[in-house]
Amino acid sequence: MNTDKSGKASDKGSLRRELLAARALLTKEDAIRAAAVLAEAALGLPELADARTVAAYVSVGREPGTRALLEALRGHGARVLLPVLLADNDLDWAAYEGPAHLLPAGRGLLEPDGPRLGPDAVLAADAVLLPGLAVDGAGMRLGRGGGSYDRVLARLTAAGAHPSLVVLLYENEVVARVPAEPHDHPVDAVVTPAGARRFVNPS
């Protein structure tokens, strides 16, 4: 389906292409430098720094880097869960035990080599780090469009779980407006190399 009645799906597609093109212009060195700054800024959020369990992900390509943050979270004593993509596009989870325990997976992703804990393992998280391409002033996140994290957020909502939802982005990816659809869910905070920003979302 290329569009809905309001054109929001096609608007999302256009914005995704624009932002991915901007990321493609970044050098490897740009991404590495940004990752170090992002890790420091993210740990300035008590929601992450004080979390006992964080559901995160391993950044790939020119995504805002998470690897330094994963190690920093472990250094703070947090249990870090990483996603494992299932055949139906849902996410299983496994504990992160360090970079030596990451294996190549489909779609260019890296996944932990430990025991699978089941899709409901995310319900134990105090904070969930969500991948994204943009966020707006209302905290609405633009994802890649695969739907995996829509399932995660729906699972959290159905279980009455309320972890802090955080997205890591580059500064230019905080935009005026993200086209929102009924199933979209706002995040609680964004972290960019310029620092962290919280959103006030209705309960």
Point out the annotated binding site for ATP.
Answer: 12-16, 141-149
Q: Given CATH 3.40.50.10420, say whether it is the number of domain 8-195.
A: yes
- pTM of the predicted protein model: 0.90
List the domain boundaries for the chain. Answer: 8-195
pLDDT, one tens digit per residue, over 106-123 is 878 899 999 999 999 999
User: DSSP string covering the chain, please?
Assistant: ----TTSHHHHHHHHHHHHHHHHHTS-HHHHHHHHHHHHHHHTTSHHHHT-SEEE-----TTSPP-HHHHHHHHHTT-EEEEEEE-TTS-EEEEE---GGGEEE-GGG-EEE-S----GGGGGG-SEEEEP-SEE-TT-BEE--SS-HHHHHHHHHHHTT--PEEEEE--GGGB-S-----TT--B-SEEEETTEEEE-----
Query: pLDDT by residue for the chain (203 residues), tens digit each?
Result: 333 444 566 788 899 999 999 999 999 999 999 999 999 999 999 999 999 999 999 999 899 999 999 999 999 999 999 999 999 999 999 999 999 999 999 878 899 999 999 999 999 999 999 999 999 999 999 988 888 999 999 999 999 999 999 999 999 999 999 988 877 889 999 999 999 999 976 44
Point out the annotated binding site.
Answer: 12-16, 58, 63, 141-149
Point out the annotated binding site for substrate.
Answer: 58, 63
